[in-house]
Copies of this chain bind each other. A is one copy, B any other.
Amino acid sequence: MQMAHADLAERLLAGDVRALARAIRMAEDRDPEVAGLLRRVRGRAGSATVVGVTGPPGSGKSTLCDQLIERWRSQGLKIGVIAVDPSSPFTGGAILGDRVRMQRHATDTGVFIRSMAARGHLGGLAAAAREAIRLMDAAGRSLCLLETVGVGQSELEVMQTADTTVVVTTPVAGDAVQIIKAGILEIADVFVVNKADLPGAAKIYRELRDLVRQTKGSADWQPPVIMTSAVSAEGVEELVGAIDRHGELIAASGELERRRVARLRAEVEAIVIERAAERARRALREGTMKQELEGDLRDVDPYALAERILNGHVKEAAG
C-alpha cells in the first residue's frame, strides 16, 4: 500500500490527470488512506487561488463559470473545478452534471472538472471538497474553482474553503432579503446579478448595493455588485477584474493568511469530528459497551459512555 501511495503521489505531483481523479475519488469516499497521500504532497499545495461561486439552481451559475474558465485559460492558468451538488445522492445529478460540463472543455487538459456529491453527513462534504482543492493544488492547478448550489449549512461550510466567494443571483431567483436570511451576506466577496437583461435586474442591483453599503460601509472591501449576462458574456470581464482585485487586497492586508489559517483549523476540526464519530461507532458495538447496551437502558449514562470513548477507556468484554 505504501508503494502504491508513493507512486500515486508522484504521478499527482507531475500533474497526471488520472492520478488526480483517483485521489479526489478517495477524498470523496472518505478513504482513510487519503491522509497518507496528503502527507506526501504536503508542501506542494498552498499556492493556488481558490474562487467559490454559489447561487440557486437556474441562476446560470454554470454558464458563468464556463465564461470565467475561458478567461482564465486565455491567461494561461491551469484550472481545477469542483462542482458540489448536494442533491445528487437521490437524483444522480452529479454524474449527469459531470458529463454535461465535461463536454465543453473535454479536449482541454488545462481544465479538470469533478462533481462531488454529499455522502454521509457531519461535514464530510466540506472535508472532501477541502481535500480535493488541496490535491488539485498539489497537481499544479493554480486556480481552483468551487461551484455549489443553494445555501444550506453544508454549502456554507464548503464555501468557507474559498479565498474569494462570488454569490450569483438573478432578477428571478430572489431579493436581498433572501440573501440576508440564508446567511450568505457574510460570505459574499462579490455579488453578481446574472441574466441582467431580464426585467427587475435594476431593482435587485440597487437592493444589493444598498445592502452592502448598510452592512459593510466601513470595511476595507465592499463587495461590488456586477451585472452579467452569461450567455452574451457581458460583464464577465468586470467580474474577472473584481475577483483579481479582491485577491490582491486580501493578500496585501493579511486577510488571505487569516482565511487560510481559519480554513486549516476547520479542516483539523472536521477530521477530529470524523475520527471521533468513527471511534464512537466502533466502541458502542463491541466489548463492555455493547454489553451495557444489552442491559437495562435506564442504567446507562450517555455522558459517561461518551467520556470513556473520548478518553480511550474502552475495555474488551468481560467474557
Chain A: residues with CB nearer than 8 A to chain B? 35, 38-39, 42-46, 90-91, 121-123, 152-153, 180-181, 183, 260-261, 264-265, 267-269, 271-273, 275-277, 279-281, 284-285, 293-294, 297-307, 309-312
Contacts of A35 in B (CB 8 A): 303
Please give me the residue from chain B that is nearest to A269 by CB atom: B280
A265 touches B277 (CB 8 A): no
Contacts of A46 in B (CB 8 A): 297-298
Contacts of A284 in B (CB 8 A): 265, 268-269
Q: Return the contact of A272 from the options B294, B297, B301, B310 (Cβ within 8 A).
A: B310
Chain B: minimal CB distance from A247 (Å): 17
Please give me the residue from chain B that is nearest to A38 by CB atom: B303
State the majority secondary structure of interface residues on A. helix
Identify the 10 closest CB pairs spanning chains A and B, nearest first: A276-B276, A271-B306, A35-B303, A272-B280, A46-B298, A269-B280, A267-B302, A268-B305, A272-B306, A268-B302
28 A-B pairs whose Cβ atoms sit less than 8 Å apart in the complex = A38-B301, A39-B301, A42-B298, A42-B301, A43-B299, A46-B297, A90-B181, A122-B122, A152-B152, A260-B297, A261-B297, A265-B284, A268-B280, A268-B284, A268-B306, A269-B280, A269-B284, A271-B302, A271-B303, A272-B276, A272-B277, A272-B280, A272-B306, A272-B309, A273-B277, A275-B307, A276-B276, A311-B312
